[in-house]
Amino acid sequence: MASSKERVPIVIVEYDDISRTIAQRIAEIIKERRAAGGHAVLGLATGSTPIGIYRELIRMHLDEGLDFSDVVTFNLDEYYPMTSDSIHSYHRYMRENLFSHINVKPENIHVPRGDVPRADVDEYAEQYEAAIRDSGGIDLQILGIGKTGHIGFNEPGSGVESRTRRISLDTITRRDAAADFFGEDNVPTEAITMGVATIMEAREVALVATGEHKAAIVCRAVEGEPDPDIAATYLQQHENAVFYLDFAAAADLTRLRTPWVIGEVKWTREKETEAVIWLSETTGKSVLKLDAHDYREHHLSSLLARYGSAGPLNGAVFNALISKVRGRSKLPAGKRVVVFSPHPDDDVISMGGMLNKLHQNKNDIVVAYQTSGNIAVFDHEVRRYADFLRRYGSDFDITDSSYVSLIDDVESFLRKKKTGEIDAFPVQVMKRAIREAEAVSGIETFGMSKSQARFLNLPFYQTGKVRKDPIGPEDVRIVHDLLEEHKPELVFVAGDLSDPHGTHRMCLEAVVAALADYTGPAPEMWYYRGAWQEWTIAEADVLVPLSEEELRAKIQAIFKHQSQKDRAPFPGQDDREFWQRVEERNRSTAQRVDRLGLPEYFAMEAYVVRREGAPVDRETVPTSTLRVMVGPEEEPKVRGRRSVRAKRG
């Protein structure tokens, strides 16, 4: 398949394979430099993107003896102002996620200081540049990419000649960081960052991007013209830069989104459906009204030739689309169902309409809330409930000293709490209880009972911080025990990889791992989205129509999550309330279906379905379940850096 629009080599694999590949390349560089009598110099990044790389490096150090004693490191950036011991500092991040677990020498570690007096920042930046030069230059630079296309903190307008400096942060960048700082208002407005020129001087560059929310900017960086407003496009000029993408981040690339416009396509039923939907939307015609001229004028002659004329092709795709639409009578009935909800509101936000219909169809449903969601409760909510408890105790003369003392402790902690400080245990418990009560109230909207709610409180989430621990054996055991107990015939899981916290990804990982040891018959897996992004019509296997009344009931269930209403603590890039996003998204899906010429519905939810353990088909299964490679031609296995690089267009 051609890839002529791509201006930089790319590798598309799942995240674990990205982490292993880059970690292995780092190990090779360390050994190569040492064998030549020198030392490796690594450029490191922070955030969620490189966590997997660092975990693999730690594993290689502990299990394989990978030696970091002579390795020199330089980090890309740091917030300004920022003390090194702050919970938000990149100094602390690097200690916790890498440096404290390997034998790198403290004197060889370089992370930009965020506590340099403002008057001395320029001089300090020059010293940082000099230290990089004196070390021999960076051998491999790890990068992420921001939604503005920034690398490091090189925001729009950063010049190709820019060097380490203090820079003002873009509004979008600060909004992206809001979750880590428990609110956008707490995010610093400036940072110290390596410049574009500094990054470009690295001998190798590995840019890593994951998730649907990065797809648009990745496409622009890979296929667009170099642009000072998108610093990542400068990497097109680097002789040894590679973009490592998961399938979600690569989804908007031409060779995946519309491969027929750049070359030959291996046609499958799924590709045919994608192409015809695209053609229908491009021409503004319904599917059944497309003609041969439309196909020929839009690079689809080879598809037309497979059917001889437009009519049979249009009919085949139209029938395939119609078969996706399932009203209540065509949905499961009398089945054992487990709905896994990563946060306590994902069930009603993402599949509230389906949940209502499943209950009406008398399925035996358990809704398993995988995490407490307690960090997503504002402190003022806890103050309100603490005040309620105090008043309730006073009205009913509850004088138990431990009861009163607990309320005093909660209120005292919140009065003294610093921004970003981890909540005291009683506060964490209160926030968890708030979310649990809201979750029960949400499903009761559909007539379900509180006994159908299970709160798993998976340990990986219980750090009190936005950044979570890896999924561990205990997380998997808890999920596995529920599966063994309920023996579900259907399992619903979140396939929404744009979740900015990564919790959805991790909760899916726990379910997949638990199913690997599950002794019952393989359940059918239904993947939902909704909080951040919906499945496209082409991707979806099932489209569930909702009436105006059913959509209203779904929104009422979302309203029960009062702690997330009006202003959610972690809204992502969308300022609207969750119910507003849901209403727009579900109605938009129905409107798209209508424009394709299918029956008109008020609203729709979309799902991807497959049986766990069935053969994996990359065209129809959520990318989160895959570990395969997409290249512009064949699909080689991931063996090392040189074997996985795609050719330049």
Q: Two tokens at 526?
A: 């239904």
In Å, what is the CA distance from 418 to each residue of 81, 591, 602, 620? Answer: 16, 47, 47, 47
Q: Are 386 and 442 in contact (CB under 8 A)?
A: no
The token pair at 126 is 């020059």
Q: Note whether 449 and 414 are within 8 A (CB).
A: no
Q: Give the span between the Cα atoms of 400 and 398, in whole angstroms.
A: 6
Tokens of 77: 């950036």
Which residues, 6+ apart, have CB-to-CB distance to 297 below 8 Å? none
Pairing between β-strand 542-546 and β-strand 603-611 as defined by DSSP bridges: antiparallel
Q: Look up residue 23 and give its two tokens.
A: 């970690």
What gap in Å lies between CA 644 and CA 639, rounded to an integer? Answer: 7
Q: Which residues contact 245 (CB under 8 A, 6 or more apart)?
A: 10, 11, 12, 18, 208, 209, 210, 218
- CA angle (201, 170, 128) in 5-degree steps: 35
Q: Is residue 340 classed exposed, middle or buried when 0-12, 13-18 and 19+ CB atoms within 10 A define those classes? A: buried
- Element (DSSP H or E) covering residue 297: helix 292-297
Are 517 and 541 within 8 A, CB to CB? no
Concerning whether 225 is annotated as a catalytic residue, the answer is: no
Q: Residue 280: which of 269, 261, 295 has the closest Cα?
A: 295
Contact present, 58 and 98 (Cβ < 8 Å): yes
Residue 436, CA distances (Å) to 112, 367, 439, 457, 529 in order: 42, 12, 5, 10, 21
Tokens 């359940």 belong to 523
| Burial zone of 443 (CB within 10 Å; 0-12 exposed, 13-18 middle, 19+ buried) | buried
Q: Amino acid letter at 571?
A: P
Active-site entry in 129, 155, 509, 583: 155
Quote the tokens at residue 160: 């190709």
306 and 267 in contact (C-beta within 8 Å)? Answer: yes
Helix axes 401-416, 425-444, angle to 10 degrees: 100
In SS3 terms, 472-491 reads as CHHHHHHHHHHHHHHCCCEE
Beta bridge partners of 328: none
Q: How far apart are CA 450 and CA 544, in angstroms?
A: 25
C-alpha 611/C-alpha 115 separation (Å) is: 54
- Location of structure tokens 């051998």: 139
Residue type (1 letter), 307? Y
In whole angstroms, give the CA distance from residue 187 to residue 178: 6
For the beta carbon of residue 621, count every other beta carbon within 10 angstroms.
Answer: 20
CA 265, CA 7: separation in Å to the nearest integer?
21
Please give the positions annotated as active site. 155
